[in-house]
Amino acid sequence: MSTPTNNGKSPLAFSSLNLHKDLLKNLSTLGYKEMTPIQAQSLPEMLVGKDVIAQAKTGSGKTAAFGLALLEKLQVKRFRIQSMILCPTRELADQVATEIRKLARAVHNIKVLTLCGGTPFGPQIGSLEHGAHIIVGTPGRIEEHVIKGTLKLDDLNLLVLDEADRMLEMGFEAALDNIIERTPLDRQTLLFSATFPKQIQEISESIMTDPVIVKISASEDKLNISQQFFHVENDIERFEALRLLLLANPVESTVIFCNTKKETQAVCNNLHDDGFSVLALHGDLEQRDRDQTLLRFANKSASILVATDVAARGLDIDSLDLVVNYNIAHDSEVHIHRIGRTGRAGAKGKAVSLFSDKESYKVGLIEDTLDQVIKPELLPSADVLNNIRPQAKMSTIQIDGGKKQKVRPGDILGALTSKNTGSEINGKDVGKINVLDIKAYVAVNKKVLKIALRKLSTGKMKGRTYKVRHLTV
């Protein structure tokens, strides 16, 4: 295996790359100027066609890295499936597809198709029959299509395995084998993984050719994140410390990581009872509840998300203010992955961690990984317990209509800001709008929630009215 020549320690401009002028122009309009470390090390290698293994966390810029590589390689006039990205979850696949479309918007007629489980199989067959350039999907559903012959990969020249470690954790190894053996041998393969277990090494050796290995050191990748550690004696002290830290750091978006599903739900319930705006995310949730939880946290309708590591993979929040490690992660690489969800895109981030005597050895492993000495700090004064609990400023409304009813984001925004009902809503009070196949969701400022519900339930979109409801925390 070869190693990269660029050490990635000094910021490099995207304009220094041999990218198509339309891609560079679009990057400039998106505000992408300097490459992140993972982009600076991996993109030059990918652009010359090399196989690449990159250890990269969510928020490192990895999607833009492989997205630009496949778009540069793509032949638009050749209407065949040329690139495929495999992701562990539907949430991540949707996010990756959205990012690819954003990067590709300066290049006309590129078709990106998402194929994931949890959605009807039949319509996907119809979409495949119409053709596509890029496929983004989950291993289970992609495998189903290739075995049934509805997805042909004969023209594939670039394969991306995104969050490969997570796909192995979820038991997708057999599905990956089935898919990969149906792809051309002369393809380019890119593998991205937050951690690097032995299985990843074994898979890379079997499916890649002389891959370049890219790994960003923890110390290099964490310069913009301030970390604090706090010692606690027992579980009672642990929850009390959590309350103190949340009230001493009243921010808009916080993720709290727990090591088990049971503790995740218990912490969420206790915070909710104490008046916090909080949601839980773990593997015991139904897919619909999981989707709505992610959506509501991302659109600022809840200020705190309590999650397990497994459930939070693929969580893509633009501006996460604070990460709390309620328990120290089992692995120091997982710790790095957790805190890397704040301080993204060059912004300053903050992470706090709670640990007991039993977890001291894990703190020692983190010290070795970060190459720094960790000293416990004093918890905030109990006076902060009298502070007002931070609340989300937005609320989410569900609309029982979506893409299949031809509903578009502009229709929802227009219905909310129309003046024909006598009550006005300013556009700045409308947040993120997500339109799915048969549902749509819109975040609105809490102060206009009642007006918004009335406007959407009585007004018309595409010539008809829709049922709407407020999703409560």
Mean of the pLDDT values across residues 14-26? 90
Q: Output the pLDDT for position 140.
A: 94
* Among 35-44, 306-315, 329-338, 411-420, the least confident range: 306-315
Q: Which residue has the higher pLDDT, 309 or 217?
A: 309
Reported as half-sphere exposure (CB side, CA atoms, 13 A), residue 132 has a value of: 23
Say what percent of the chain tops pLDDT 90.
62
Report whether 361 contacts 354 (CB < 8 A).
no
Token couple for 415: 């219905």
Say what percent of the chain tops pLDDT 70.
92
Three-class DSSP category at 443: strand
pLDDT in tens, 25-36: 999 888 888 888
pLDDT tier, 369 (very low <50, low <70, confident <90, very high otherwise): confident
CA dist., res. 51 & res. 212, Å (int): 6
Q: Which residue has the higher pLDDT, 287 or 238?
A: 238
The CATH number of domain 394-471 is 1.10.10.10: no
Q: Output the pLDDT for position 258.
A: 95
Mean of the pLDDT values across residues 352-358? 95
Q: Tokens 């495999």, residue? A: 86
The identity of residue 197, as a single letter, is P
CB-based contacts of 211, cutoff 8 Å, min separation 6: 1, 2, 50, 51, 52, 53, 189, 191, 204
pLDDT in tens, 213-241: 998 765 545 557 889 999 999 999 999 99
pLDDT in tens, 156-165: 999 999 989 8
**Domain at 219-386, CATH class:** alpha beta
CA dist., res. 171 & res. 219, Å (int): 32
Write the CA distances from 132 to 100, 111, 430, integer angstroms: 13, 5, 33
Instruction: Centre a 10 Å sphere on the Cβ of residue 21 and count the other Cβ atoms it contains.
Output: 8
Q: Output the pLDDT for position 333.
A: 77
Dihedral sign, Cα of residue 337, residue 343, residue 348, residue 350: negative
CB-based contacts of 355, cutoff 8 Å, min separation 6: 229, 230, 231, 232, 328, 362, 363, 376
pLDDT at 431 over 60: yes
Examine domains 219-386 and 394-471 and report if their fold is the same. Answer: no
Q: Output the pLDDT for position 106.
A: 85
pLDDT tier, 340 (very low <50, low <70, confident <90, very high otherwise): confident
pLDDT at 208 over 80: yes
Mean of the pLDDT values across residues 275-289? 90
Q: Output the pLDDT for position 217.
A: 61
CA dist., res. 69 & res. 63, Å (int): 10
CA dist., res. 337 & res. 351, Å (int): 12
Q: Output the pLDDT for position 6.
A: 44
Which strands form 468-471's sheet, in the order they lie side by side? Answer: 430-435, 440-445, 394-399, 468-471
Q: Output the pLDDT for position 141.
A: 96
Q: Output the pLDDT for position 10.
A: 42
CATH architecture of 14-216: 3-Layer(aba) Sandwich (3.40)
CA dist., res. 403 & res. 119, Å (int): 14
Report whether 243 contacts 385 (CB < 8 A).
yes
Q: Where in 129-283 does DSSP place strands (E)?
A: 134-137, 158-161, 188-193, 212-215, 225-231, 254-258, 278-281
Q: Output the pLDDT for position 15.
A: 86
Mean of the pLDDT values across residues 133-138? 96
* Among 273-287, 303-317, 392-406, the least confident range: 303-317
Mean of the pLDDT values across residues 344-370? 86
Q: Output the pLDDT for position 57.
A: 65
Report whether 421 contacts 459 (CB < 8 A).
yes
Mean of the pLDDT values across residues 341-362? 84
Q: Which helix (H) or strand (E) holds 444?
A: strand 440-445
Mean of the pLDDT values across residues 359-379? 90
CB-based contacts of 399, cutoff 8 Å, min separation 6: 407, 412, 439, 440, 441, 442, 456, 466, 467, 468
Q: Output the pLDDT for position 37.
A: 87
- What are the DSSP calls for 236-280, one per residue? HHHHHHHHHHHHHS--S-EEEEESSHHHHHHHHHHHHHTT--EEE
Q: Which helix (H) or strand (E) holds 442?
A: strand 440-445
pLDDT at 3 over 50: no
pLDDT at 393 over 90: yes
* Among 218-232, 301-315, 349-363, 458-472, the least confident range: 218-232
pLDDT in tens, 63-93: 999 999 999 999 999 999 999 999 988 888 9
Q: Output the pLDDT for position 30.
A: 87
Q: Output the pLDDT for position 11.
A: 54
Q: Which residue has the higher pLDDT, 5 or 394?
A: 394
Mean of the pLDDT values across residues 280-289? 87
- Mean pLDDT, rounded, of the chain: 88
Three-class DSSP category at 15: helix
Could you state, in order of their start, the residue ranges of all structural domains in the chain?
A: 14-216, 219-386, 394-471
pLDDT tier, 300 (very low <50, low <70, confident <90, very high otherwise): very high
Q: Which residue has the higher pLDDT, 251 or 58?
A: 251
Angle at which helix 139-148 crosses helix 121-130, to 10 degrees, equals 70
